[in-house]
């Protein structure tokens, strides 16, 4: 099946959930493989019930059909296709940088997270070389990518809050990826909070209270 790629000159399709009043910061959530920009929209209200943050859910640039967006091609789990990964990475970071600047919200006031393939792009956006450090990373059921031409820049990220949530019974992305990310990021001095449940490849409702608490503690105050 062939994919259509949106022009790099175009903005990514996206949905915005406004804050209740002047936002204290932003919460960006990136969807997983084969869904779209509306998939995680309800999760914004779950994670930020007081609506202190403006929420943003961008759609991935590769389109395989209605509601079937992908951030990159998957030749092997853990190892994104370099061409499509780098194209999406460049487009996503440029879009987010511009959107946040237009809203006058710095990355230091922005939480970025995602599920599955969106988790991978969250790691890439937050840890990429030369990238500004966000307020925190919410990594759900994903992995730090291994891809030619991209390496995480961890030396300048000491103390950066990261919450990793993963299901031990995940048949799509093994929990070993989450455990490896915990070890790698903790060794580099990032402030990692790790939650492993008996879930498969989904957001475990039993973990949601911990996610909500982490967002409340990590998000900037107005």
Q: Is residue 8's pLDDT more than 50?
A: no
Check: CB of residue 14 under 8 Å from CB of residue 96.
no
Binning pLDDT at 50, 70 and 90, where does residue 33 land?
Answer: very high
Burial 51-70 (b: 16+ CB within 10 A, else e): bbbbbbbbbbbbbeeeeebb
Check: CB of residue 167 under 8 Å from CB of residue 199.
yes
Mean model confidence pLDDT for the chain: 94
Query: Nearest CA to 119 among 52, 43, 187, 191?
Result: 43
What's the confidence (pLDDT) of residue 190? 98
Query: Which tens digits make up the pLDDT trace of 63-120?
Result: 988 889 999 999 999 999 999 999 999 999 999 999 999 999 999 999 999 999 999 9
Mean pLDDT of 33-51: 97
Mean pLDDT of 48-65: 96
Q: Is residue 6's pLDDT more than 80?
A: no
What's the confidence (pLDDT) of residue 111? 98
Bridge-based pairing state of the strands 4-5 and 110-115: unpaired
Mean pLDDT of 167-181: 98
> What's the predicted TM-score (pTM) here?
0.94
- Percent residues over pLDDT 90 in the chain: 92
Mean pLDDT of 163-174: 98
Binning pLDDT at 50, 70 and 90, where does residue 4 land?
Answer: very low
Query: Which tens digits make up the pLDDT trace of 106-163?
Result: 999 999 999 999 999 999 999 999 999 999 999 999 999 999 999 999 999 999 999 9
What's the confidence (pLDDT) of residue 221? 84
Q: How far apart are CA 69 and CA 71, in angstroms?
A: 7
Q: How far apart are CA 8 and CA 127, in angstroms?
A: 22
Q: Is residue 2's pLDDT more than 70?
A: no
Strand partners for 163: 138, 193
Q: How many residues in the chain? A: 222
DSSP character string of 150-176: B----GGGTT-EEEEEEETT-SSS-HH
What's the confidence (pLDDT) of residue 3? 39
What's the confidence (pLDDT) of residue 65? 83
Whole-number Cα distances in Å, 113 to 10, 76, 83, 148: 22, 22, 23, 23
């Amino acid at each position: 099946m062939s994919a259509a790629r949106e022009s790099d000159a175009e903005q990514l399709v996206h949905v915005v959930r406004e804050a209740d009043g002047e936002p204290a910061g932003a919460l960006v959530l990136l969807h997983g493989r084969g869904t779209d920009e509306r998939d995680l929209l309800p999760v914004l209200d779950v994670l930020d019930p007081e609506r202190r943050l403006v929420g943003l859910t961008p759609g991935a640039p590769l389109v395989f059909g209605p509601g079937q967006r992908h951030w990159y091609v998957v030749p092997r789990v853990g190892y994104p296709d370099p061409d499509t990964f780098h194209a999406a990475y460049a487009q996503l970071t440029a879009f987010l940088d511009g959107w946040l600047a237009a809203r006058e919200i710095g990355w230091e006031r922005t939480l970025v997270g995602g599920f599955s393939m969106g988790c991978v792009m969250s790691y890439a956006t937050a840890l990429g070389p030369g990238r500004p450090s966000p307020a925190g990373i919410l990594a759900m059921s994903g992995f730090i990518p291994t891809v030619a031409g991209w390496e995480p820049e961890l030396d300048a990220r000491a103390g950066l809050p990261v919450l990793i949530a993963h299901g031990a019974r995940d048949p799509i992305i093994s929990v070993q990826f989450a455990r490896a990310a915990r070890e790698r990021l903790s060794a580099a001095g990032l402030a990692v909070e790790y939650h492993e449940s008996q879930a498969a490849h989904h957001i475990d409702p039993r973990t949601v209270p911990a996610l909500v608490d982490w967002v409340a503690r990590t998000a900037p105050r107005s």
